[in-house]
Structure 1
Amino acid sequence: MKEISASLEELNNVVTYLETTLPSNAIVFLRGDLAAGKTTLTQAIAKSRGVESEVTSPTFSLQQCYGTKDGSGLYHYDLYRLDHEEFMQLGLFEEFEKQGWHMVEWGSDELKAFLEGVGYNVATVDIESQENSRIYRINI
Structure 2
Amino acid sequence: MKEIVASLSELDKVVTYLENTLPLHAIVFLRGDLAAGKTTLTQAIAKSKGIDSEVTSPTFSLQQCYLSEKGENLYHYDLYRLDHESFMQMGLFEEFEKEGWHMVEWGSDTLKAFLEGVGYNVATIDIEPHNNARNYRIHV
The TM-score normalised by the length of structure 2 is: 0.99
Counterpart-to-counterpart distance in 2, 1:75 and 1:139? 19
Deviation at 1:72, TM superposition (A): 2.9
Tell me the alpha carbon deviations over residues 81-123 of structure 1, each in whole angstroms, 9 at most, x when there is no partner.
Answer: 0000000000000000000000000000000000000000000
Counterpart-to-counterpart distance in 1, 2:69 and 2:19? 14
Deviation at 1:69, TM superposition (A): 3.0
Moved more, 32-41 or 67-76: 67-76
Residue in structure 1 matched with residue 52 of structure 2 by the alignment: 52
Q: How does 1:26-65 map to 2 (within 5 A)?
A: 26-65=26-65
- Do the aligned residues in 1 keep the contact of 2:28 with 2:123 (CA within 8 Å)? yes
Residue in structure 2 matched with residue 127 of structure 1 by the alignment: 127
Deviation at 1:12, TM superposition (A): 0.4
Residue in structure 2 matched with residue 139 of structure 1 by the alignment: 139
Counterpart-to-counterpart distance in 2, 1:48 and 1:16? 9
Residue in structure 2 matched with residue 91 of structure 1 by the alignment: 91
Q: How does 1:76-87 map to 2 (within 5 A)?
A: 76-87=76-87
Aligned length: 140
Q: Following superposition, which runs of at least 4 residues in structure 1 exceed 3 angstroms of deviation?
A: none
For the residue of structure 1 that corresponds to 2:77, the secondary structure is strand
For the residue of structure 2 that corresponds to 1:127, the secondary structure is strand
Deviation at 1:131, TM superposition (A): 2.4
Residue in structure 1 matched with residue 8 of structure 2 by the alignment: 8
For the residue of structure 1 that corresponds to 2:61, the secondary structure is coil
Q: Which amino acid aligns with 1:76?
A: H
Cα RMSD, aligned residues only: 0.6
Report sequence identity in percent: 80
Counterpart-to-counterpart distance in 2, 1:73 and 1:40? 17
* Structure 1 residue runs without a partner (length 5+): none
Deviation at 1:34, TM superposition (A): 0.4
The TM-score normalised by the length of structure 1 is: 0.99
